[in-house]
């Protein structure tokens, strides 16, 4: 299988991702992301992941917008990534939802 090359790839981005990969538990994640991002930035990431999860579970745009507060533009972008993106959402959601 060929290695995936991201449009974002750089030494600095590798440094960021290595930092994230080094986190050992949820508490460390909270500490790191609270220092790294604003509350608004973290909430936007949280919202997009929730939107992706709801789309994978067949929820409608209206249901998702009401539950998450996401705009239809955000929902549409996440849906496009789920269907035509780099498969990142699917990788993560498949891993974390296996226990459901």
The answer to whether residue 91 sits within a structural domain is yes
The answer to whether residue 5 sits within a structural domain is no
Q: How many domains does the chain have?
A: 1
Spatial separation of the C-alpha atoms in residues 79 and 73, rounded to whole Å: 10
Query: pLDDT value at position 100?
Result: 54
Query: pLDDT value at position 98?
Result: 80
Query: pLDDT value at position 99?
Result: 60
Residue-range definition of the domain harbouring residue 61 = 11-96
Assign 3-class secondary structure to 50-100.
Answer: HHHHHHHCCCCHHHHHHHHCCCHHHHHHHHHHHHHCCCHHHHHHHHHCCCC
Walk along the chain (100 residues) and give the pLDDT tens digit of each residue: 467 888 899 999 999 999 999 999 999 999 999 999 999 999 999 999 999 999 999 999 999 999 999 999 999 999 999 999 999 999 999 999 886 5
Which CATH number characterizes residue 39's domain? 1.10.1270.10
């Amino acid at each position: 299988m060929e290695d995936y090359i991201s449009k974002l790839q750089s030494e600095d981005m590798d440094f960021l991702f290595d930092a994230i990969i080094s986190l050992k538990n949820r508490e460390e994640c909270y500490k790191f992301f609270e220092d790294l991002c604003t509350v608004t930035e973290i909430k936007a990431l949280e919202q997009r992941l929730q939107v992706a999860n709801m789309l994978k579970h067949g929820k409608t745009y209206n249901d998702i917008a009401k539950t998450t507060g996401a705009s239809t533009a955000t929902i549409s972008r996440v849906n496009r990534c789920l269907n035509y993106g780099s498969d990142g959402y699917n990788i993560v959601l498949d891993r974390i939802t296996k226990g459901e």
